[in-house]
A and B are shown apart, each in its own frame.
Chain A
Amino acid sequence: MRRLGRDRAAMAALVLLCLIVLACLLAPVYAARIAHSDPFQSNVGGEVVIGGDSVPVLQPETGGLGLGVTPIGPTWHGAFLLGADMQGRDLAARLLYGGRNSLMIAAGASAICLVLSAIVGIVAGYFGGIVDAILARLLDVLWAFPVYLLAISLSIVLINSRLRIGPVTIASDSLLLPMLILGIVNVPYVARPVRGQVLSLKESDFVLAAIALGVPNRRILARDLLPNVASTLIVFAPLMLALNVMAEAALSFLSIGVQPPVASWGTIIQDGQNLIYTRPLVAIVPGLAIVLTVIALNVLGDGLRDALDPRAKIRVRAG
């Protein structure tokens, strides 16, 4: 950890991330105190006072047939700092609320993925034999799906059906759905290196000694293997987060992630798609937020890898 503290780039990235998280957490304060608007209520007929004049939030189109409306552009004032979207909602406020959801989904998905991968990797690697064979074949099958297609399939299936886990029912507009989906799709990519590591740990002297001493399996798994695997997982964590921020945006952009009226960076980009030629900021700003967050996470991940485990590697996939 001290080595990480000396890495200036990683520290800068950490500060930037903290600022982004803090800003997103303060979203309700921003909406209530500065923007004075509800970012989830459409505000089609609304007006806003700028420099003493009252201006409609959705302005009639001047060019073309004059039939449509164009949302207000950036005012650089408290209200509609960055302008409005097609429903007259404050873009800046939605950006912060959206960030909250995007980050929450990415964090939840990464946690799910790392826990599942640790379980699958350790069980497959430690017990070997038939368990390993079955898990390996299952991972092979998942591996042969392009990641985005797998995520899209799962989203569509789960959005169409009501998922029930025991007594808990997850509604189709719950944030848990994208979290779960993104948590699952990356398991093959993380479980494999974990399994490999466990295989080599199994041959190491301290594990052999524990086995020879008759230490029960459960204790070996928890006391000897997990701590060693954990450092690999910690190195993966920021990179997983970065991948999941991007993947959440992609799913929401295809309108099968976060469901409206809830915001996320991906859904705001999708809202902005129809305004791209008139009010490009609506699509550009959330994208910039994603880029900044992902750069910071990647830099932090590089720093963490250099500090903890120079040999850990993860693949970034995209499409």
Chain B
Amino acid sequence: MLAAAIRRLAQALFVMFGISVLVFLIFVATPGADPAARIAGRNASPETLAAVRHDFGLDRPLPVQYAVLMRRLFVTRDLMSFVNRGQQVIPTIAEAAPVTLSLVAGAGVLWVIGSLVVGLVAAATRGSVLDRLLMILGLIGISMPVFWLAEVVNLFTQSRWHDTWLFSWVPPLGYQPLTTNPLGWFKALVIPWITLSILFIGLYGRVLRASLIEAYEEDYIRTARAKGLSERRVLLRHALRTSLITFVSLFGLDFGALVGGGAVLTEVVFGLHGVGKLTYDALLNLDLPLIMATVLYASFFVVAASAVVDIGYAWLDPRVRLGR
């Protein structure tokens, strides 16, 4: 068990190291990404350019540059943006992280509750009109591009129906910190939460229904029924337990990716300056230090999520053990 855990950790570290090297090489080699040209400004003379390059250590060999960058990111923690002079990378991410976390955590709660209800109701009433209806709604949910849905939602909540009783409480787009203004935080995020979760409710509801119905084919369900357990107990205690395995692993991976910045489209349309938006801006500006930091931040959550999922497996399904 311990050996497996250590192997898992080593694998995770390797993946993050691989990503950092890959990203570093890609963006160093990209034309137009030359940081010296940006720092020196337009029309800088070759001498200035060379001086800047030397000052920032950009004339050193690539492995040294990589090592210096990583040391300033993790050890001295004073890595600076190449594009916005004086902008420190770590505080910038620390500022964006709560925004993304608020968005994704709220949406996560909604989509877990929503998809459990949809999946359980559809599986319990399978073949009925209600089941059909839920599955069609789910299908529509997963077929909508999230940024488009967000635009349409904005159209109604910010403009068309904003003056009616229904949406008059909706604040202008943007984020309110939870600590200073809890009510404003909630109001600002309700609409983005619902928008982001709709797609996942559709997806997870359909997945859960499918795996519940698959579980109904298993022998242990027949055994449970033969023991005379009520239909509700068979569904909730027996079928749901194994079906949750797929559900939990999907949730872990999606949640990790979203916290790491995968919600970039939702953040852009709702004007939330979270990690996804930050990564996107860093990439657009070809701002190498910020790109490295945000990408490592994102990959950390993906890697951590998949490790948590592995542990969740073992907890839910005694047949699965780490390092099998």
Contacts and interface: CB of A to CB of B under 8 A. Distances in A.
Interface of A: 137, 140-141, 143-149, 152-153, 156-157, 160-162, 242, 246, 249-250, 253-254, 256, 269, 272-273, 276-277, 280, 283-284, 287, 290-291, 294-295, 298-299, 315-319
A148 B147 CA distance: 13
A276 B284 contact: no
A153 B260 contact: no
Interface string B18-44: 110011001101111100000000000
Interface in B120-154: 139-140, 142-149, 151-152, 154
What class of interface size applies to chain B in its complex with A? Answer: 35 or more
A292 to B, nearest CB: 8
A175 B37 CA distance: 30
B142 A250 contact: no
Contacts of B158: 277
Contacts of B261: 146, 149
A152 B286 CA distance: 12
Nearest to B258: A319
A160 B264 contact: no
B155 A277 contact: yes
Contacts of A273: 151
A157 B152 contact: no
A109 B106 CA distance: 34
B142 A153 contact: no
Given A141-B15, A149-B262, A242 B143 contact: yes
B152 A161 contact: no
Contact of B11 (A140, A147, A284): A140
Contact of B257 (A284, A287, A299, A317): A317
B147 A253 contact: yes
Q: Which 4 A-B pairs have the closest CB atoms?
A: A146-B262, A287-B148, A319-B262, A294-B143
Given A144-B302, A146-B260, A153 B26 contact: yes
A295 B283 contact: no
Contacts of B286: 156, 160
A294 B145 CA distance: 9
Is chain A's interface secondary structure helix, strand, loop, or mixed overall?
helix
Given A157-B30, A242-B143, 4 more contacts: A283-B151, A290-B148, A295-B140, A316-B142
Interface in B275-324: 276, 279-280, 283-284, 286, 291, 295, 298-299, 302-303
B144 A319 contact: no
A254 B280 contact: yes
Highest count of chain A CB atoms <10 Å: which of B16, B29, B143, B257: B143
A161 B32 CA distance: 8
7 contacts: A146-B298, A254-B265, A269-B147, A280-B155, A295-B140, A319-B262, A319-B265
A319 B257 contact: yes
B166 to A, nearest CB: 17
A269 B146 contact: no
Contact of B148 (A141, A162, A249, A299): A249
Contact of B302 (A137, A143, A254, A295): A143
Contacts of A149: 260-262, 264, 276, 279, 295, 298
A287 B280 contact: no
B25 to A, nearest CB: 11
B254 interface: yes
B159 A290 contact: no
Nearest to A157: B30
A277 B163 CA distance: 14
Interface string B225-245: 000000000000000000000
Contacts of A287: 144-145, 148-149, 151-152
A310 to B, nearest CB: 9
Contact of B26 (A157, A277, A284, A316): A157
Given A152-B264, A277-B155, A144 B15 contact: yes
Nearest to A277: B159
Contacts of A295: 139-140, 143
Contacts of A153: 23, 26, 283, 291, 295
Contacts of B14: 137, 140
B19 A319 contact: no
A144 B299 CA distance: 5
A253 B265 contact: yes
B266 interface: yes
Contacts of B280: 152, 254
B268 interface: yes
Nearest to A270: B147
B30 A161 contact: yes
Interface string B187-200: 00000000000011
